Amino acid sequence: MARRERCSGCGINMLVSPEARVVRCSECHTLTNLVPMNARPGRTRYNGPPRMHENPYGNGPSPQHPQYPQYPQPRPSLSPVPIYGRKRALLCGVNYHGKSYKLKGSINDVKSMKYLLVETLGFPNDSILMLTENEREPSKIPTKQNIRKALKWLVYGCQPGDSLVFHFSGHGTRQKDYNHDEVDGFDEALCPLDHETEGNIIDDEINDTIVKPLTRGTTLHAIIDACYSGTVLDLPFVCRMNKEGRYMWEDQRNPLFYKRTSGGLAFCFSACDDHQTSADTTAFTGTNVRTGAMTYSFVQAIQNERRLTYGHLLNAMRYTIGDVSKAHGASQEPQLTSSDKFDIYSKPVVL
């Protein structure tokens, strides 16, 4: 006779056979390990549904489960990629086709990043969600609504040991800070495909969505290839490095605003400082294929040396980009921000 078991991911009740040892949830695709009925002391048959008790998280009763006293969380409506596994990535590339400010390298950037994650860093193909204008599914076009949903998907149900990656290649901007939580008086923002009508995604929202939910043991790396992106995740510590590679951490914490994680770690590599612009160039490929200077330098550094520290990775990127930014007459210095201070020359980058 079938029995009921609770999904270890989203918490819903599932009907499973008495002999089952593992089951995949039809809703969130989490694998739940089970103990067969005949292996449970004092139990030889299904004893009916769990008793009900008052639900402190809402109106009405909810099932009581003695071993897993968890309550189902709202599941992101966008779920084109199964929510399971220790590695998960969201890659957004926006070329803004047909616009006067169109880019030509952003979609190339996310393709390069996916190749790096899968072929070099061991990310499963089906744990990577790509949003570009070339995708056929409407839910994978990088509109503001789709990017918002995808960001929630990225951190949904994060657990100790999870490695999460968020890569964005496209336009960035800055706008007046109305809640006065920024040191420089401006919010940094990412520009989705439909930003002209729907608006930008500002750093406050990005922090609320993918930084604050990070639980202990979870690590997020963001790679943001956009203008004005230095503190676009609103992380509290900014690594200030001079030309000789010496650095210090700048503390941007504001006691009136909570900008930390829920115990996890967050790191962000940005293309440039908050007042700088970033380059979309053919300088690295030797052809007419354009790439973002920051994405290219990041991918090349990781591929050339797998056990780079944060300091050596940042230096390698700055060195690679230096000549290109001079050729374009721009000032572009990759930035590192973090949820915690640490020795950047001893801590290895682990994605």
Give me the residue label for tokens 């800055």.
174
E strands present in the chain:
3-6, 13-16, 22-24, 31-33, 52-54, 61-63, 87-93, 128-132, 163-169, 172-176, 186-190, 201-202, 219-225, 237-241, 247-251, 265-270, 280-281, 291-292, 335-338
| 10 counts as catalytic | no
- Whole-number Å distance between alpha carbons of 89 and 80: 13
Cα 182 to chain center, whole Å?
22
Which residues have CB under 8 Å from 255's CB, separation 6+?
none
User: How far out from the chain centre does Cα 205 lie?
Assistant: 13
Residue 241, token pair as written in the block: 């490095």
**Catalytic entry in 10, 227, 239, 272:** 227
Burial class (CB in 10 A: 0-12, 13-18, 19+), 194: middle
| Among 10, 28, 92, 171, the one annotated catalytic | 171
Catalytic residue flag (residue 191): no
Contact 201, 171 (CB under 8 A): no
Q: Which residues are known catalytic residues?
A: 171, 227
